[in-house]
Amino acid sequence: MKTAIITGASAGLGVQYAKQLHQVFPDIQKVWLIARRQERLEALAAELTEFESVVFPLDLCKDESITALAQRLAAEQPEVALLINNAGCGFLGNIGDGDWQRQTAMVDLNVRAFTAVVHVVLPYMKSGSRILNTSSIASFCANPKLNTYSASKAYVSSFTRGLAFELRGTGITATAVCPGPMATEFITLGGIVGNSPSFEALPYCDPQKVTLGALKAAKKGKTFYTPTAFYKFYRVVAKLLPHSIVVHMAKC
């Protein structure tokens, strides 16, 4: 039975990935929905009728949750056809301001847990399987006031490129999706709404279009997917211009 695993499945892109999965991967028969909020996962699972849904409430920042995931994988030996590594968080604020826990939370979830999930799931994937990692346009250049977040997403993008290289010849691919701002709870929980005029001036991406495009890119085995012409252009600019210049454009 082909299985998909989605982290961060309780909100935002995670919900959209689950709802649009069947359009692109109709051979997926079971989906593991992973996030902290069990009630949201159960509500989502009730909406998904194309495949069997397994609710797996975990706080991926805790070592015991990664251990629980590894143990369940070992016990069930699923054929993981798709891993959507989507769990992440971001908080607005300069380094040195506010609670230090917010800064380290981004590193714990966006980097440490992200890496651990790929590491424990990969042995259950085979030729034809796909890994889809949620990165961000923030990965293209440092974003003042979102510095830790952008650095963590730069890790995701760099990790994905290196992983894609490591997986050459296995038939498994890795894709990083790098969207711009979206009207999801991410920008509310991160304290971004109303506090970042430059962020709010950017064109917003449609979460449904982002997830559908990302799923299609993953199925094709592309290493990067950047939605909309505007952000594709920004990605090119960030490559061509010195980051000492681009960082002024990227400040929040």
Active site positions, annotated: 149
Contact 133, 223 (CB under 8 A): no
Taking alpha carbons only, the member of 94, 226, 112 closest to residue 148 is 94
Three-state DSSP class for residue 146 = coil
User: 47 burial class (0-12, 13-18, 19+ CB within 10 angstroms)?
Assistant: exposed
C-alpha 16/C-alpha 212 separation (Å) is 8
Q: What are phi and psi of 106, to 5 degrees?
A: -65, -40
Q: Which of 43, 66, 68 is nearest to 53 (CA)?
A: 43
DSSP 8-state class, residue 113? I
Residue 129's alpha-carbon distances to 136, 171, 249, in angstroms, are 23, 7, 37
Residue 61 CA to its chain's centroid (Å): 15
Greatest C-alpha distance within the chain: 51
